[in-house]
A and B are shown apart, each in its own frame.
Chain A
Amino acid sequence: MSHTRYRIEAAGEPRKFPAEALARIEKILKRYPTKQAALLPVLWLAQETWGWISKEASEEVARILELPPSHVDGVLTFYTMFNLRPVGRNLLQFCTSISCHLLGAEELVAHCRKKLGVGLEETTKDGKFTLVEVECIAGCDKAPSMMVNDAYYEPMDAGKLDALLERLGREG
């Protein structure tokens, strides 16, 4: 019924943060009394750097912060915004919580699935779109609300969605 987060995929190659990211990590560490507390910010940095967080990236983060790898796994899999495998260029996040539900969120998702030919948590073959359902993203007054990567698109409807998908699909 639900999609599980047990497997953190392997990238198949080592993950070392670029110098600029390491500099940011140093700055981050100064802001917290423990290294462990910097875990979420550093994981976000990893996701910014590689688009998703692989087994190799999680081990590198564990090494830098001197944490057990299992601890990093536990955190990675708990928080749904961390991508445990590669995602498409456009991560389509449809809210399906109560207010959006009351205003047709599920129909919108069904429309999108049909349009793109993918199921939930799946990526289109051309790598352009990944489709996920999310819980309330605080866009309730502009329901149905959705996000593409880090931007809100609300209120959304089938027509606007078609146009949006077309525009995003054209972008390189």
Chain B
Amino acid sequence: MAYEKVLSARVGRKDSRSIETYVADGGYASVRRVVTGGMTPEQVLEEVKKANVRGRGGAGFSAGVKWSFLPKDTKGKPVYLLCNADESEPGTFKDRLLIENDPHQLLEGMILASYAIRCRNAYVYIRGEFYDGARILNAAVEEAYAKGFLGENILGSAFSLDITVHRGAGAYICGEETGLIESIEGKRGQPRIKPPFPAVSGAFAAPTIVNNVETLCCVKHVIDRGADWFLKLGRNEKNTGPKLYCVSGHVNRPGVYEAAMGLDFKEFLYGQSYAQGIRGGKKLKAVIPGGASAAILKADEIEGVPLDFDGVAARGSMLGSAAIIVMDEDTCIVSAITNILKFFSHESCGQCTPCREGTTWLFKVLHRIENGEGRPGDVELLSRVGGQMANGMTICVLADGAAAPLLSAVAKFKDEFVFHVEHKRCLAGTKALVTA
């Protein structure tokens, strides 16, 4: 049975951004039903929790469970909903698709979520580079206000909500929820120590929920069609709902594809409906399944792996933001990993010692190796230093994200690293230089 699109159903439809077509397609019906008394906030929360909507920003933590961490009595403090549209994990571009093509889907999800958690002021933290996305969202927000879906007493109910689009300015670490919170407070986006967790004390010292774009879009569909429907979509009750998968790199058809959670990895890479195989008739060498922060998998490791949170984790990596990055047989793994560590050293916020110093050190060593200046002991050094940055050494997991691809690549492609050190060139055919 062909999969019926949910999240990306309206992508490509004429005037998909306009509120008129959105409403004509059934949009905001759930908002209308819910806020005028059809469901209580608690019922909305329970439905989302029951559906096990796992966070699609990267962590895979159940959104409903996160919402239930909010205190029952906020002691007069407002509750904030922050939509994380900072999409900066390399290889990820699904939120961009959702925002640019179906902004009202997100807004409806935010309105329903805000209703559930009793939020009065919600923000979309959108990365600065998404100029178009911000313009599109702002236009959609204005349309929503005009039609009475935002503002005071929405549709005559007691529920009021304001949504503000807030632009970031070029910092991957603002996609980390407490980095985002610091940023929206007008500071450097340096993640906070936890506890306290945002649900208890977040933005402006108030209870705060940070949810990814795709997650909030799922919320809309859970309320549209019910948790039972959501649960049935997906491999099992722990990996549920529709999922957007990004694929890029050496495939024939890079892009965003939607399937029920748990799509088979090989099907995704080779299937006609999806990436359609490795370009140029080449063979697969390696793939990173979940954005640059995930452990790398060898070609023979993707056999029988469902692309969901638990399936990929069982293989020693993570689904993360579902950003599948594909490398063919000509790829120099050393070069790829050097590039990834360049990214992390540029994006480290710099506040804590192991990440600030470790990402820079690793990049310097890798850069040397890649440029034919490797020295004996370098490969062992990479493993040792990479191995002392993660698992609690730092305030946030950027360091863990830098270590994972490095350690897995050195372990699985050790011969390539050794070759680079000993022979001052790539094992693979092509040589890709990292710019200083």
Closest CB of chain A to B232's CB: distance in Å?
Answer: 29
A56 interface residue (CB < 8 Å to B): no
B379 interface residue (CB < 8 Å to A): no
Measured between beta carbons, the chain B residues less than 8 angstroms from A104 are 432
Set B204, B246, B248, B339: member contacting A96, Cβ < 8 A: B339
Cα-based distance from A151 to B129 in the complex (angstroms):
9
B421 interface residue (CB < 8 Å to A): no
Cα-based distance from A77 to B167 in the complex (angstroms):
16
A43-83 vs B, Cβ < 8 Å mask (1 yes, 0 no):
11000000000000000000001010001001100111110
**Given A40-B183, A75-B188, A133-B435 contact (CB < 8 Å):** yes
Measured between beta carbons, the chain A residues less than 8 angstroms from B433 are 106
**Given A33-B204, A40-B167, A106-B432, A138-B129 contact (CB < 8 Å):** yes
Q: Are B169 and A80 in contact (CB under 8 A)?
A: yes
Q: Are B336 and A135 in contact (CB under 8 A)?
A: no
Q: Are A78 and B435 in contact (CB under 8 A)?
A: no
Cα-based distance from A32 to B92 in the complex (angstroms):
30
**Chain A residues within 8 Å of chain B by Cβ, number:** 51
Q: How many A-B residue pairs have CB under 8 A?
A: 165
Q: Are B184 and A37 in contact (CB under 8 A)?
A: yes
Q: Are A44 and B172 in contact (CB under 8 A)?
A: no
Give the segment of A6-14, A15-23, A140-148, A161-169 that binds chain B: A140-148
Cα-based distance from A38 to B186 in the complex (angstroms):
6
Among A1, A37, A65, A139, find the residue whose CB has the most chain B CB atoms closer than 10 A: A37
Cα-based distance from A115 to B5 in the complex (angstroms):
45
Measured between beta carbons, the chain B residues less than 8 angstroms from A4 are none
Q: Are B435 and A136 in contact (CB under 8 A)?
A: no
Q: Are B93 and A139 in contact (CB under 8 A)?
A: yes
Q: Are A80 and B166 in contact (CB under 8 A)?
A: no
Q: Are B186 and A96 in contact (CB under 8 A)?
A: no
Measured between beta carbons, the chain B residues less than 8 angstroms from A140 are 90-93, 246, 248-249, 254, 323, 325
Q: Are B188 and A98 in contact (CB under 8 A)?
A: no
- Give the nearest-CB partner of A94 in chain B: B435
**Chain B residues within 8 Å of chain A by Cβ, number:** 64
- Give the nearest-CB partner of A138 in chain B: B93
Q: Are A103 and B90 in contact (CB under 8 A)?
A: no
Cα-based distance from A81 to B129 in the complex (angstroms):
8
Q: Are A37 and B185 in contact (CB under 8 A)?
A: yes
Q: Are B246 and A135 in contact (CB under 8 A)?
A: no
Q: Are B172 and A82 in contact (CB under 8 A)?
A: no
Q: Are B171 and A79 in contact (CB under 8 A)?
A: yes
Q: Are A98 and B343 in contact (CB under 8 A)?
A: yes
Q: Are A137 and B129 in contact (CB under 8 A)?
A: yes
Q: Are B249 and A136 in contact (CB under 8 A)?
A: no
Measured between beta carbons, the chain A residues less than 8 angstroms from B246 are 140-141
A158 interface residue (CB < 8 Å to B): no
Q: Are B169 and A138 in contact (CB under 8 A)?
A: no
Q: Are A31 and B162 in contact (CB under 8 A)?
A: yes
Cα-based distance from A136 to B246 in the complex (angstroms):
14
Q: Are B169 and A43 in contact (CB under 8 A)?
A: yes
For residues 169 through 205 of chain B, which have their beta carbon under 8 Å from a beta carbon of chain A?
A: 169-172, 183-189, 204
Measured between beta carbons, the chain B residues less than 8 angstroms from A106 are 432-435
Q: Are A78 and B129 in contact (CB under 8 A)?
A: no
Closest CB of chain A to B408's CB: distance in Å?
Answer: 14
Cα-based distance from A104 to B250 in the complex (angstroms):
11
A127 interface residue (CB < 8 Å to B): no
Cα-based distance from A138 to B128 in the complex (angstroms):
12
Q: Are B169 and A40 in contact (CB under 8 A)?
A: yes
Measured between beta carbons, the chain A residues less than 8 angstroms from B92 are 136, 138, 140
Cα-based distance from A34 to B256 in the complex (angstroms):
38
Cα-based distance from A81 to B250 in the complex (angstroms):
29
**Given A36-B186, A40-B166, A98-B171 contact (CB < 8 Å):** no
Cα-based distance from A64 to B173 in the complex (angstroms):
27
- Give the nearest-CB partner of B251 in chain A: A141
Q: Are B185 and A81 in contact (CB under 8 A)?
A: no
Closest CB of chain B to A39's CB: distance in Å?
Answer: 4
A101 interface residue (CB < 8 Å to B): yes
- Give the nearest-CB partner of A72 in chain B: B186
B329-355 vs A, Cβ < 8 Å mask (1 yes, 0 no):
001000110011011001101000000
Measured between beta carbons, the chain B residues less than 8 angstroms from A98 are 90-91, 249, 288, 292, 325, 336, 339-340, 343
B56 interface residue (CB < 8 Å to A): no
Set A40, A41, A101: member contacting B432, Cβ < 8 A: A101
Measured between beta carbons, the chain A residues less than 8 angstroms from B89 are 136
Measured between beta carbons, the chain B residues less than 8 angstroms from A152 are 132
Measured between beta carbons, the chain B residues less than 8 angstroms from A38 are 186
3 tightest A-B CB contacts, nearest first: A79-B169, A39-B186, A81-B170
Q: Could you tell me which A residues sit within 8 Å of B by CB distance?
A: 1-2, 31-41, 43-44, 65, 67, 71, 74-75, 78-82, 96-99, 101-104, 106, 109, 120, 133-143, 147, 150-152
CB-defined A-B contacts under 8 Å, sample of 14: A31-B164, A33-B78, A33-B121, A39-B186, A40-B169, A40-B186, A65-B186, A97-B292, A97-B343, A99-B91, A135-B343, A138-B96, A140-B246, A141-B93
Given contacts A81-B129, A140-B92, A140-B323, 16 further A-B contacts (CB under 8 A): A1-B436, A33-B78, A37-B186, A38-B186, A65-B186, A98-B90, A98-B288, A99-B91, A99-B254, A102-B250, A102-B327, A102-B432, A106-B434, A134-B129, A135-B90, A151-B131
